């Protein structure tokens, strides 16, 4: 959509490919939005401007991320936060064609989805969302705190796919990310590759907005990514710290915003906090897939790809012996304790080294 003046287009992700925005909407709604962006860095960092990386959706943590399919009329991304709970963006659940919120029975979550393979999946039994959520595109950044939804699945597929732990990015943690002590990334099903999971690695952190209920980030996102996790690697562990909600472009650059998971804590959004308390979701580290399921507990394919990019592993990748030698060479070269073991901690180190 083209708009007069500064704004060139708005994307509210997801199933939301149903939005075919109108020229007049820009003049009525977008200029107030630009005023609310004062003080934020709109440009994407160089690391986020390139192409996204294809990842193996059947390897953790990617296996805990999936598609929220909505009645055959579109989809969003969502992610498991317990055995049977999925977080996504509320606007993904709105049927723009019929002008109503979808019933739970119309929704289906598919974890680890890749190239039409739906091995781990469940129908949605019910969901909670903010009563103030807007299904239609809303350029008011203060509304991001209401664009959340918690799905309860009929089956506890988190045992097979794993789930991602939650962590609030407060001011202290934000300062660590700025210093390079933590790394933001994102993975989802963009409209360009809707049947393949791809990830934005080493995203920039631009700051908070909407009284810290939103996180401005530099991940390379587009339609289809709404509801995807804003992930954080810190202290050798991976967490979800936000839910991607909106992105748009101005003449000055791109803006992407996620709902801060801080809204689910004391002092955040009371409605969101109470909804989370009614579930089995707990703060802290996530859980890998059970060893008996189809999903792998370590992202070996992504680790191999990163090792190749850094020049430690030849193409083709080879086997476990070659991988271990490459990991040991990488760790020795970086001054890291040499273990030679593939792990999530190692993946974070590789992403950090890739710059």
Tell me what the mean pLDDT of segment 160-185 comes to: 94
What are the angstrom distances between the C-alpha of 203 and each of 33, 184, 217? 23, 5, 7
pLDDT surpasses 50 at 40: no
Q: What's the whole-model pTM score?
A: 0.86
Tell me what the mean pLDDT of segment 302-306 comes to: 95
pLDDT category of residue 9 using cuts at 50, 70 and 90:
very low
Half-sphere exposure of 247 (CA within 13 A, CB side): 24
pLDDT surpasses 70 at 46: no
pLDDT surpasses 80 at 231: yes
**Tens-place pLDDT, residues 261-274:** 999 998 888 999 99
**Tens-place pLDDT, residues 280-293:** 898 998 999 987 88
Q: What is the Cα–Cα distance from 54 to 61, expressed in whole angstroms? A: 13
4-13, 132-141, 323-332: which range is least confident on average? 4-13
DSSP SS3 for 152? strand
Burial class of residue 224 in the structure, from the number of CB atoms within 10 Å of its CB (0-12 exposed, 13-18 middle, 19+ buried) = buried
The average confidence (pLDDT) of the chain is: 84
pLDDT surpasses 60 at 48: no
pLDDT category of residue 137 using cuts at 50, 70 and 90:
low
**Tens-place pLDDT, residues 73-118:** 789 999 999 999 999 999 999 998 889 999 999 999 999 888 878 8
Burial class of residue 40 in the structure, from the number of CB atoms within 10 Å of its CB (0-12 exposed, 13-18 middle, 19+ buried) = middle
């Amino acid at each position: 959509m083209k708009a007069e003046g500064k704004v060139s287009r708005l994307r509210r992700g997801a199933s939301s490919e149903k939005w075919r925005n109108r020229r007049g909407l820009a003049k009525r709604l977008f200029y107030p939005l630009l005023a609310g962006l004062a003080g934020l860095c709109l440009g994407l960092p160089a690391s986020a401007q390139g192409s996204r990386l294809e990842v193996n959706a059947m390897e953790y943590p990617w296996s805990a991320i999936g598609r929220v399919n909505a009645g055959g009329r579109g989809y969003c991304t969502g992610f498991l936060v317990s055995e049977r709970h999925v977080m996504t963006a509320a606007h993904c659940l709105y049927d723009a064609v019929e002008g109503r919120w979808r019933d739970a029975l119309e929704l289906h979550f598919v974890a680890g989805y890749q190239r039409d393979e739906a091995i781990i999946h469940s129908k949605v039994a019910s969901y909670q969302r903010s009563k103030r959520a807007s299904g239609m595109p809303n350029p008011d950044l203060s509304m991001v705190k209401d664009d959340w939804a918690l799905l309860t699945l009929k089956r506890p597929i988190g045992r097979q796919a794993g789930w991602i732990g939650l962590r609030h990015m407060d001011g202290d943690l934000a300062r660590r990310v700025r210093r390079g002590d933590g790394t933001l990334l994102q993975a989802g099903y963009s409209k360009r590759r809707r049947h393949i999971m791809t990830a934005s690695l080493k995203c920039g952190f631009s700051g908070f907005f909407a009284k810290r209920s939103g996180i401005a980030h530099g991940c390379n996102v587009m339609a289809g990514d709404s509801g995807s996790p804003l992930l954080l690697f810190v202290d050798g562990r991976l967490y979800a710290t936000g839910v991607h909600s909106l992105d748009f472009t101005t003449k000055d650059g791109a803006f992407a915003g996620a709902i801060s998971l801080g809204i689910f804590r004391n002092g955040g959004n009371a409605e969101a906090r109470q909804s989370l308390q009614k579930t089995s979701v707990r703060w802290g580290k996530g859980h890998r897939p059970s060893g008996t399921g189809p999903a792998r507990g370590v992202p070996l394919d992504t680790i191999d790809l990163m090792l190749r990019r850094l020049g430690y592993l030849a193409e083709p990748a080879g086997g476990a012996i070659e991988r271990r030698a490459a990991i040991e060479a990488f760790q020795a070269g970086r001054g890291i304790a040499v273990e030679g073991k593939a792990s999530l901690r190692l993946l974070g180190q590789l992403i950090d080294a890739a710059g």
